Amino acid sequence: MDTLSSAEKEKRRHHQIRGIFIKACELLEPVVTGNDTLKTVSSFAMAHMVQDHFPELTPAEAHIVVVTVEKMHHEQRLQAILKKQS
């Protein structure tokens, strides 16, 4: 008999990040694209941008968002997610 609820089965953490992730991608996409040719905006500054727009996130959560968006951009997956949402 399975007595665990679906919330208890969920292994993913950082649910607040999941709630704002697409909007954060839209916010950071021009920055990470511009950083391809010349790194003009640091990850630290991007984390502050994320926290300014989403004050409910902790600094660690903002950093997770930035690192993930940068990784997705370098893997050519960021544009696909943004196109899918529009």
Token look-up 């502050």 returns 48
Residue 1 has pLDDT above 70, yes or no: no
Q: What is the pLDDT of residue 55?
A: 97
Q: At 81, list the tokens.
A: 């997610």
Token look-up 């008999």 returns 1
Q: What is the pLDDT of residues 3-62, one digit of tens each?
A: 556 555 666 677 889 999 999 999 999 999 999 888 899 999 999 999 999 999 999 999
Residue partners of 50: CB distance under 8 A and separation at least 6: 24, 27, 28, 57, 62, 65, 66
The Cα 83–Cα 86 span in angstroms is 5
Residue 68 has pLDDT above 90, yes or no: yes
pTM listed for this prediction:
0.81
